[in-house]
Amino acid sequence: MRIRTLAVLLLAAAGLICAQSPTNTEVHVWPAQGNIYMIVGAGGNITVQAGKDGVLVVDTGLANMSDKVLAAIKTISTGPIRYIINTHYHADHTGGNEKIRLAGSTIVGGNVAGDIKDAGEGAAILSHINVLNRMSAPTGTEPPSPDGGWPTSTFLSDQKKLYFNGEGIDILHLAAAHTDGDSIVFFRRSDVISTGDIFTTTNYPIIDLAAGGSIQGTIDALQKIADLIIPVYGQEGGTMVIPGHGRLCDFGDVLNFREMTIIVRDRVQDMIKHGMTLEQVKAARPTQDYDPLYGSTTGFWTTDKFVEAVYKSLKGQK
């Protein structure tokens, strides 16, 4: 197996939860730190860990970008894809699950390899149980995702541990944040955290109320991410952070995003205490000073939708 670094310009990842990227979009590989790489341009950001044991992938991007994602992974390592970890269930992070899983192989041993003919076929897909629940629609309704991309291994607690490529990996479930199934992935030796859509640099926090997300859960999750980071000097360097969308980050970026979220939460909470309606809160523009950085009037996740999500979350509405 060969591992090499492809040094390219880092471009911002395009698309939000349900946005579809055109098939002519190019993906790019960016070295993060240690043996961790970041693939951008395929929908949500993708994290790749590569080493002697093979390849581990965090999220898989949009379905129509799978071939380009696989080609990008091969520029990092020609080893087998062993694991896929999903940070949540949205299609811009799980759409490539099926095709990328089939390109890999699961590590099996003992009697399993002989007793189950296809035991090693395809990479294992790991996630919190709530991700499987939302992808598979266990209530009997039509499942929103093809079953070939569903997680093959889930966990119920708030943590799952994995050791792969000489590195301890913590998968931490952070409840009621972006959704009810969000996990962050902490690569302990490389000192890199993959956050999924709990943290982004391209927009305000995406709070999926219908899927169990909340403003307070988002703030708590951002605090947990900040607590795990150790910078080298001040707020710079040290632990690197791969967001769900956007550029490679460090401690300062996470702190700024967390503080913005807290300030907007507090402003909206105060307006609610003064009896303001949703339309009045929107008109008051509680995000105004942050709009140049995170605001949008078009696309899937606009500033108005963020303010509405904060308002409804604080009011206990969906």
> What pLDDT does residue 251 have?
96
Read off the amino acid at residue 2.
R
> What pLDDT does residue 210 have?
94
pTM of the model: 0.88
CA distances from 296 to 18, 30, 168, 293, 315 (A): 16, 26, 38, 9, 24
Burial of 163 (0-12, 13-18, 19+ CB in 10 A): exposed
> What pLDDT does residue 108 have?
55
> What pLDDT does residue 18 have?
40
The residue whose two tokens read 């696989």 is 70
Candidates 196, 244, 185; CA nearest to 12 is 244
Q: List % helix, strand, coil for the chain (3-state, nearest 5).
A: 35, 20, 45
CA–CA dist 55, 157 (Å, integer): 25
> What pLDDT does residue 107 have?
67
Read off the amino acid at residue 81.
I
3-state SS, residue 86 = coil
> What pLDDT does residue 140 have?
62
CA distances from 2 to 35, 52, 74, 174 (A): 13, 9, 9, 35
Strand ranges (DSSP E) for 59-146?
Answer: 81-85, 124-128
The residue whose two tokens read 């309606």 is 277
Q: Which two tokens stand for residue 185?
A: 């992935």
Contact 182, 198 (CB under 8 A): yes
Model pLDDT for residues 87-146, shown as the tens digit of each residue: 999 999 999 999 999 999 876 544 444 443 444 579 999 999 999 999 997 666 778 888
For each of the chain's 318 residues, which pLDDT tens digit applies? 444 333 333 333 333 334 444 455 789 999 999 999 999 999 999 999 999 999 999 999 999 999 999 999 999 999 999 999 999 999 999 999 999 999 998 765 444 444 434 445 799 999 999 999 999 976 667 788 889 999 999 999 999 999 999 999 999 999 999 999 999 999 999 999 999 999 999 999 999 999 999 999 999 999 999 999 999 987 788 999 999 999 999 999 999 999 999 999 999 999 999 999 999 999 999 999 999 999 999 999 999 999 999 999 999 987
CA–CA dist 47, 30 (Å, integer): 10
> What pLDDT does residue 236 have?
82
